[in-house]
Amino acid sequence: MLNYFKIFSRTCGFKPHQNSLAQCFRALSSSSSKYSQGAPVTPVPEITEKYPHLKTHKDIYDFSLENPSEFWGEIAKSYLQWMEPFHTVSNCDLPNGKISWFEGGKLNASVNCVDRHMRSIPDQTALIWERDEPGTEQRITYRQLYDQVGRLASALLQHGVRRGDRVAIYMPTSPAAAVAMLACARIGAVHSVVFAGFSAQALASRVLDAGAETIITSDQAVRGGKVIELKRIVDDAVRECPSVKRVFVATRTGAEVPRSGIDIPMEEAMEAAPAECEPAAMDAEDFLYMLYTSGSTGKPKGLVHSVAGYLLYCMFTQKQVFDLRPGDVFGCVADIGWITGHSHVVYGPLATGGTAIMFESTPVYPDPGRYWEMVQRLRPTHFYGAPTALRLLLKHGDSWVTKYDRSSLRVLGCVGEPLNHEAWQWYNDVVGDKRCSVIDTWWQTETGGVCLAPRPSAEGAEIRPGMPMRPMYGIEPVLLDEKNNEISGEDVMGALCLKRPWPGMARTIYGSHQRYVETYLKPMPGYYFTGDGAHRHPGGYYQITGRMDDVINVTGHRLGTAEVEDVMDEYEPVAETAVVGFPHELKGEGLYAFIIMKNDVTVTDQEVKDTLKGLIRNNIAGYAVPDHMLIVPGLPKTRSGKIMRRILRKIAANQPDDLGDISTLQDPSIVEQIVQLHRQQVQ
């Protein structure tokens, strides 16, 4: 029961360690960058106490691969609170998509995230809600969280929600949303959080696919000072979903919103329900939740995560990758609608008995200083964000950062895309004052938790800019060539695959196990295929080159679009770039670069293009110089900030009339502007 304290008390004596500034390293271009400072490296006492011959990080890593059952078995016993112990650590047949961990074990995720901390640290803040309006944050303790989760879980049961039912959650990033997720977990219902920026159509298709009878929403959402009519959108969606029987409506603004016969006011229902709710004893492999993510086809996939394996991997990475210590305040600014919000706003921080910030706003509201003003006010030890936001803020200048006190920060994380060198340097030098560890984490909705990151590592080991570097314990990355052979050696590129199952991997695609097997396990039999390409640098360090479909072959040379982008992004006047391939008569594929300039630059478009060509020629090769460069006012991005390259590829291929569905874009109107410019300047 006191596992949490066991974990931390054994690490408390660990001495912080300062790394000397080591030699400069450049992965993709020639200008210099510095290593970030070293940081203490969280040890794994659960393993080293039982196997004292394991001394170094490499010893423990090798052990995790060679003895996965011993490794994960010990971690699972120590990290999780079980109602019944498991008898078999791992029982997997990867090629056929049978993944099973901790068979025989029974547990409940809400007990692990709430009850055990409610008993040991009831008055510690569990969640700090950083509301849209700056300076109006609210704190909720483990005791309060326990009360709310119990009440909502009881209310769900009273209103007919049952174990195994799917429940759609369509809410702003808020404690109420975390309570909704944990209340589902408590009664064994499978939650499906749908990002509250998605349209009624997108919500309806996800509710239908999951066969959800219950939706939990809020009256309204507020983001960047704008009100979003969540309840109205839910009503529109419900009209297309005859399966929906009940809609719980939480109060965010208290505004008058449309009502319907199946509404249940959430706070009233909680008030009327008992705070004590017996947690369901879930099998290790029962579904904890599903989460939709886009693939290469149009139809989003509902990836399913398990109770035990997911929670364990999420908790273990939370601690190991971010060097989490008692008293830390984890500031992940992701929305709960994405996997990062699931793993590092809700499940990871709470399972470890930590304190997590829930960020409801945007990076530029009310101004581009928002993140750092929040850091000064809430004093988080960790900041975890997305490269796209960093690039945006970098464009606005340093003073928005430097005018606020950031001395509480110890670790700066990022996730979602490659963090290019310029942004890495800015994050390290300006945001972190060169005294924080910059942790570029690579992972996917499918992996459940971080798989590549500079930490954990040997004590004080170097951190190189622009790459997630090292595999997590139990993760064995390999690179495969076109014939599915493993590529050995260093300074090589290939398809990034993971060679063995790990507890956190998604178990299936809801409603289509066959699609799961075909997407991830069949392309490279015997491996989990990530869909990404990677470069293994000297030292065995991994750098992601981009989605495999972003790898281009120009005159027989393999080229990651991210490589070219990285060089262009180094050029001061450039804010952001996206490079795609297009069919080329002679070269096989040609390169097309879309470029956004910073505000107030004085150089002409022609000068920009000439300089960039020179830079690319010098930093990569002549063949990497784009055939076309188009300066654009913006790029087509999804709401989570990923560039929709399929659209740029169509434009580059001169097929702008056949762009498919662009409704999930943050700003669909940008597409027409790009097409116009393309027609005027390139076509």
Residue placing its CB nearer to ligand 7RM in the complex, 323 or 440: 440
Examine residue 440 and tell whether it contacts ligand 7RM (CB under 6 A).
yes
Examine residue 341 and tell whether it contacts ligand 7RM (CB under 6 A).
no
Q: Do the beta carbons of residue 287 and residue 304 sit within 8 Å? A: yes
The gap from C-alpha 467 to its chain's centroid, in whole angstroms, comes to: 16
Cα–Cα distance list, 278 to 10, 115, 562 (Å) = 32, 11, 50
Please state the closest distance from residue 562 (CB atom) to ligand 7RM, in A.
8
Examine residue 418 and tell whether it contacts ligand 7RM (CB under 6 A).
yes
Residue placing its CB nearer to ligand 7RM in the complex, 179 or 498: 498
Distance CA 167, CA 183 (A): 11
Q: Do the beta carbons of residue 269 and residue 248 sit within 8 Å? A: yes
Please state the closest distance from residue 547 (CB atom) to ligand 7RM, in A.
5
Residue placing its CB nearer to ligand 7RM in the complex, 562 or 629: 562
Examine residue 468 and tell whether it contacts ligand 7RM (CB under 6 A).
yes
Please state the closest distance from residue 569 (CB atom) to ligand 7RM, in A.
14
Q: Which of residues 533-562 bind ligand 7RM (CB under 6 A)?
A: 544, 547
Examine residue 99 and tell whether it contacts ligand 7RM (CB under 6 A).
no
Q: Which of 33, 141, 444, 457 binds ligand 7RM (CB under 6 A)?
A: 444
What would the two tokens of residue 158 be? 């009273």
Distance CA 434, CA 494 (A): 33
Residue placing its CB nearer to ligand 7RM in the complex, 105 or 546: 546
Examine residue 90 and tell whether it contacts ligand 7RM (CB under 6 A).
no
Examine residue 390 and tell whether it contacts ligand 7RM (CB under 6 A).
no
Strands (E), 252-341: 263-265, 282-283, 287-293, 301-306, 329-332
Distance CA 489, CA 539 (A): 10
Stretch that binds ligand 7RM, among 93-101, 204-212, 439-447, 571-579 (CB under 6 A): 439-447
Stretch that binds ligand 7RM, among 256-264, 364-372, 528-536, 669-677 (CB under 6 A): 528-536
Stretch that binds ligand 7RM, among 52-60, 144-152, 443-451, 563-571 (CB under 6 A): 443-451
Stretch that binds ligand 7RM, among 109-117, 352-360, 376-384, 524-532 (CB under 6 A): 524-532
What would the two tokens of residue 336 be? 């709960």
Number of residues that bind ligand 7RM (CB under 6 A): 19
Beta carbons within 10 angstroms of residue 101's beta carbon: 30
Examine residue 532 and tell whether it contacts ligand 7RM (CB under 6 A).
yes
Examine residue 337 and tell whether it contacts ligand 7RM (CB under 6 A).
no
Q: Do the beta carbons of residue 205 and residue 179 sit within 8 Å? A: no
The 3 state secondary structure assigned to 348-394 is: HHHHCCCEEEEECCCCCCCCCCHHHHHHHHHCCCEEEECHHHHHHHH
Location of structure tokens 């203490």:
40
**Backbone region of residue 514 per phi and psi (left: phi > 0; alpha: psi in -120 to 50; beta: other values):** alpha
Residue placing its CB nearer to ligand 7RM in the complex, 105 or 636: 636
Please state the closest distance from residue 444 (CB atom) to ligand 7RM, in A.
4
Distance CA 240, CA 237 (A): 6
Please state the closest distance from residue 452 (CB atom) to ligand 7RM, in A.
7
Q: Which of 531, 588, 634, 668 binds ligand 7RM (CB under 6 A)?
A: 531
Residue 522 burial by CB count (10 A; 0-12/13-18/19+): exposed, middle or buried?
A: middle
Residue placing its CB nearer to ligand 7RM in the complex, 88 or 294: 294
What would the two tokens of residue 565 be? 């982008």
The gap from C-alpha 584 to its chain's centroid, in whole angstroms, comes to: 35
Examine residue 443 and tell whether it contacts ligand 7RM (CB under 6 A).
yes
Binding interface with ligand 7RM (CB under 6 A) = 293, 339-340, 415-418, 440-445, 468, 530-532, 544, 547
